[in-house]
Amino acid sequence: MTGRGEPPEGTPEGLPSGGEDEYRSVVFDESFVRAARLQEFSAQERMGQHARAVRSRSAFSLRSGSKQAALLVVLLLMAFGTAIYMGVRHPYQAPETPKAEPARMTVIPLAPQKTVVGGSAVDLFAHSPAAQFRIGAEGVNLPAVSRTDHFADSQVTTALTTAKDYIVESSLDPDVLTGSAVRPVRVLLDPGQFEQFDRSFSSPVDDGRHEATGWVVRFDPSKVALAAEVRVQGTLSFAEAGAGALEVISDHTFTYALRPAGAGTGAAAGVSLFTVRRELHFRFDQEDLRQHRAELETAYVQAGPLACSADAAAALRPLLAGQQATAQGPAGTDPYATGQPTASLCGTLSPSSQPSPAPAPRRS
């Protein structure tokens, strides 16, 4: 006969076969009891003043709970540290702003075919192509401004006004023209070009990189002096140079009335005109626009009347009224010389650029 609780046919297949097995699924092992949040008071404790039959157990007082909490803290710290590390060493950080490239410059003297015409500044201007030019900064005008694909109207305006400031300071400032100041121009440049700029004035040389006259219009004050305000005409234009930069191109002609240094200011002083055409290419990235500064990419300068043999790297040395250019050509170029190549260039000043007809000197 079968025992109590067992069917006569025995325990069906798939069901617990013993009384203990029957309750095995609801029997709590020792680890489960230790992990319980509620703990029953002992019989002796219940005989005391305790009103409740059970008490709460702190999760952090349990060994398994403490281990889980500590592990969670460690995992959080590791995740936080990993996030910081990846932020510092992220392989896809935004690229740094490219450094300013060295400026490239070409200065070409224009030699006159005849004697330089002299007279008073008023007569010379009236009979020259500069008769309709505007005076000073009024001749440096901004074009109509419009946004581009990647730059707003305000950014385009900033680029154009910065380029204009550079043109005005480097071509019209009397202190810059006479060689007594360079800072008004330097502060408008990207700091990446400071070294090249400074070397161009401390050690100027005709190498396409370090001509002071590529950065500014500059005369030797011991030779010439300004006799009247400068006449200016030209254009400014802009375009995108990729998604990250704007390019501004200036093309201006400046006409200077000059007289010999130390001479008087009357008609007898022998004033003559000197013309400089400057084509400058500027580049502006986002940081340049924020800082109101420019990168000078190229400077192409034609100036005359000058002698082809004149060294125009440090300062322009105009031929004045009554002077003629010699037949001597530019300084020779040695293709066998090592180091930075030099290639002096010279052009011919067209007679149509001179005042015509030649004005007669006024009597005082």
202-242 pLDDT, tens digit per residue, is 999 999 999 999 999 999 999 999 999 999 999 999 999 88
| Per-residue pLDDT tens over the stretch 89-131 | 555 454 555 678 999 999 999 999 999 999 999 999 999 999 9
pLDDT, average across residues 312-339: 81
User: pLDDT exceeding 90 applies to what percent of the chain?
Assistant: 55
**pLDDT of res. 51:** 53
Confidence check: pLDDT of 361 > 80: no
- Nearest Cα neighbor of 239 from 189, 278, 281, 277 is 281
- What pLDDT does 80 receive? 79
| Banded model confidence at residue 62, pLDDT cuts 50, 70, 90 | very low
Mean pLDDT of 46-51: 57
Task: Note the pTM of the prediction, 2 decimals.
Answer: 0.71
Q: Residues 207, 215: contact at Cβ < 8 Å?
A: no
Q: Does the pLDDT of residue 60 top 50, yes or no? A: no
The per-residue pLDDT of the chain, averaged, comes to 82
Going from the C-alpha of 231 to that of each of 13, 216, 317, the distances in angstroms are 114, 16, 19
pLDDT at 69: 74
Band (46; pLDDT cuts 50, 70, 90): low
**Mean per-residue pLDDT for 250-262?**
95
**Which range among 20-29, 187-196, 303-312 has the greatest average pLDDT?**
187-196
Which pLDDT tens digit goes with each residue over 174-202? 999 999 999 999 999 999 999 999 999 99
Q: What is the mean pLDDT of residues 39-51?
A: 59
Q: Which residues contact 329 (CB under 8 A, 6 or more apart)?
A: 308, 309, 346
Q: Which residue did the predictor score with more confidence, 357 or 256?
A: 256
DSSP letter string, 44-85? HHHTTT---SEEE--GGGSHHHHHHHHHHHHHHHHHHHHHHH
- The stretch 9-29 carries a mean pLDDT of 54
Question: Which residues fall within 8 angstroms of residue 276, CB to CB, at 6 or more apart?
Answer: 171, 217, 253, 254, 256, 301, 302, 303, 316
Label residue 155 by pLDDT band (50, 70, 90).
very high
User: DSSP 3-state assignment of 301?
Assistant: strand
